[in-house]
Amino acid sequence: MEPGIVSWGVYLPYWRLERRAIGQAFGTGGGKGSRAVASYDEDTTSMAVEAGRRALTPPGVPEPADLFFSTPAPAYLDKTNATTVHAGLGLASGSGAYDLCGSVRSSWATLQLAALAGARAPALAVVADLRTGLPGGPDETQGGDGAVAFLFAAEGGVTQQLGHASCTDEFLDRWRVPGETASRQWEDRFGEEAYLPLARSAFERALADAGIAAGDVDHLVVSGLQARAVAGLKKSLGVPADRVAPDHAGVIGNLGAAQTGLALADVLERATVGQVVVVVELADGADAVVLRTTGALPAVQEARREAGLTAVADLVGEGRSDLDYAVYLSWRGMLHREPPRRPDPERPDAPASRRTEGWKFGFNASRCTVCGFRHLPPTRVCLSCQSVDQMTSERMADLRGTVATFTIDHLAFSLSPPMVGAVIDFDGGGRYRGEMTDVDPGSVAVGTRVAMTFRRLYTTEGVHNYFWKARPVSDGSLGEMDGSEPEVNRAEGAATS
């Protein structure tokens, strides 16, 4: 059978930066709306893990045999980032993990490669982007951060590919050389003139390949970083405006490499059986694909709802929008603030990290097979019955817990003080003391429900130290923030230093 999409996942960070905050800093208007912002402890690798987790959450989803990861902003250059995503997802060591990094167009190749690999065995494509522009520039105000993941398999696909076309031309529209943090862009009118003929050609040839007309299109996705070209293309393809998928850029910004996947996931959550979906991406040329939704779509949509996965439209509306612009600049490395007056953390030890990979990246506990006691971190000797080497491994990353006690620490080393530490009791047993993130120190409380999220603790001597943190959640969705404060006694077990 022809491979198709069997599951998908979308991750958007907790934070939003209001564009007017940028404008106020420079004495300009700044524009309306906001953009999604990765926190100080997030990067494209950690966001990719979160998107992949959501794609693999619904029951019955097959485990991927291969993982393909794409981002224009990799955490490492001379190291495969996909292996960290692979470890964070707890995938089997017998599966592959590969990077396809560099440009926005690499994300399209990643999806195509995963689709082809899915004909043999399930394959996961993950795309993440962290858009950083110079302060006050359009990339900063209009960009956004996030990640998407799509799982392809030969059976159970909700999409069937009907046609495909690509156009390529060499022209200088957007570029960034090694060592630079922000991209440069040529004049907008030049980009528009270069892109529109290529995109129209790719669209028309893809429809011809599929044997359909523009009037047959039920959902049109058009994405790209060249805003003028994207806007002009949407109006010129002959598809009614009410069939053009929203890009949500006014609230979360343009996610760059992940923008196409975000819009496609949104369409799949709203589409019905037998509808035609056309996706066009403008990036150093143009690519177009024609898909038709299958009879498997309703069951997958229902399984996602039952699994508590938040729809894209709802994810866009969530998030905390009071991020200070100076704090944002410090997170992006554009503003060097006074560091904590504490010794810098030590560089992670490579041999130790490898020995404890199941705990460090997979967040696996050990459960005693004799008495059932659960240990975090895992251990060989049971703390309850003292049995030795009678343990089985259990992944804890996808379980929820409750804050038993917490500390708000203004003195500990943190890139975004204060640090909130908490003792967490996990559902089904097990207690862990760790750090919280995406949390308002004034609203955390004993009894707060939390889920684990994959984050970057710190970077020292060029080595990223990844581990798991806890974030407040509601019980209705996977790892999404609950804005209400639990009705519990905050004084019990709370401490401040």
Domain presence at residue 204: yes
Domain presence at residue 337: no
Mean pLDDT of 286-307: 97
Nearest to 102 by CA among 191, 177, 169: 177
Do residues 299 and 375 both lie within one domain?
no
Domain presence at residue 495: no
Beta strands in 79-122, from DSSP E residues, in sequence order: 96-99
Mean pLDDT of 293-310: 96
Residue 488 confidence (pLDDT) above 50: no
For 328, phi then psi, to 5°, come to -55, -45
Mean pLDDT of 318-325: 93
Mean of all residue pLDDT scores within the chain: 92
- What is the model's pLDDT at position 162? 97
- What is the model's pLDDT at position 481? 44
Binned at pLDDT 50, 70 and 90, residue 475 comes out as low
Nearest to 155 by CA among 307, 305, 5: 5
469: which residues sit within 8 A by CB, 6+ positions away?
Answer: 41, 434, 435, 436, 437, 452, 453, 455
Q: Dig out the tokens for 240 from the structure.
A: 């009614």
Q: Dig out the tokens for 249 from the structure.
A: 């850029």
Mean pLDDT of 94-102: 95
Q: Dig out the tokens for 213 from the structure.
A: 């007309």
Contact 456, 489 (CB under 8 A): no
- What is the model's pLDDT at position 495? 39
Which pLDDT tens digit goes with each residue over 6-42?
999 999 999 999 999 999 998 877 689 999 999 999 9
For 223, phi then psi, to 5°, come to -140, 160
Domain presence at residue 249: yes
Do residues 247 and 167 both lie within one domain?
yes
Residue 485 confidence (pLDDT) above 80: no
Do residues 234 and 140 both lie within one domain?
yes
Residue 338 confidence (pLDDT) above 90: no
How far is residue 200's CA from residue 236's CA, in Å, rounded to a whole number? Answer: 8
- Please provide the distance, in angstroms rounded to a whole number, between the alpha carbons at the two ends of the chain: 61
How far from chain centre, in Å, is Cα 433? 25
Do residues 461 and 429 both lie within one domain?
yes
Binned at pLDDT 50, 70 and 90, residue 483 comes out as very low
Q: Is 86 helix (H, G, I), strand (E, B) or coil?
A: helix
Domain presence at residue 492: no
DSSP H/E element including 317: helix 312-317
- What is the model's pLDDT at position 486? 32
How far from chain centre, in Å, is Cα 124? 14
364 is in which domain, residue-wise? 350-472
Contact 433, 421 (CB under 8 A): yes
How far is residue 83's CA from residue 69's CA, in Å, rounded to a whole number? Answer: 9
Domain presence at residue 491: no
Do residues 217 and 359 both lie within one domain?
no
Domain presence at residue 408: yes
Opening angle at CA 135, ends 133 and 138, nearest 5: 55
Residue 69 confidence (pLDDT) above 90: yes
Residue 263 confidence (pLDDT) above 90: yes
Residue 187 confidence (pLDDT) above 90: no
**Residue owning tokens 């004799």:** 370
How far from chain centre, in Å, is Cα 278? 23
Residue 139: how many other CB atoms lie within 10 Å: 19
Domain presence at residue 127: yes
Which pLDDT tens digit goes with each residue over 376-433?
999 999 999 999 999 999 999 999 999 999 999 988 878 788 999 999 999 999 999 9
Do residues 308 and 382 both lie within one domain?
no
Return the minimum-mean-pLDDT range out of 68-77, 145-154, 468-477.
468-477
Beta bridge partners, 423, equal 405, 433
Do residues 9 and 157 both lie within one domain?
yes
- What is the model's pLDDT at position 346? 83
Do residues 321 and 418 both lie within one domain?
no
- Tell me how many domains the chain contains: 2
Binned at pLDDT 50, 70 and 90, residue 468 comes out as very high
Which pLDDT tens digit goes with each residue over 150-176?
999 999 999 999 999 999 999 999 999
Which pLDDT tens digit goes with each residue over 340-375?
777 778 888 888 888 899 999 999 999 999 999 999
Return the minimum-mean-pLDDT range out of 64-78, 383-397, 433-447, 482-496.
482-496
Contact 143, 133 (CB under 8 A): yes
Do residues 112 and 153 both lie within one domain?
yes
Binned at pLDDT 50, 70 and 90, residue 491 comes out as very low
Q: CA gyration radius for the chain?
A: 23
Q: Looking at 304, 331, 358, which one is the last position of a domain?
A: 331
How far is residue 270's CA from residue 252's CA, in Å, rounded to a whole number? Answer: 19
Do residues 144 and 246 both lie within one domain?
yes
DSSP string for 7-69: EEEEE--SEEEEHHHHHHHHTS---SSEEEE--TT--HHHHHHHHHHHHT-STTPPPPSEEEE
Do residues 327 and 354 both lie within one domain?
no
Do residues 168 and 206 both lie within one domain?
yes
Question: CATH number of the domain that 11 lies in?
Answer: 3.40.47.10
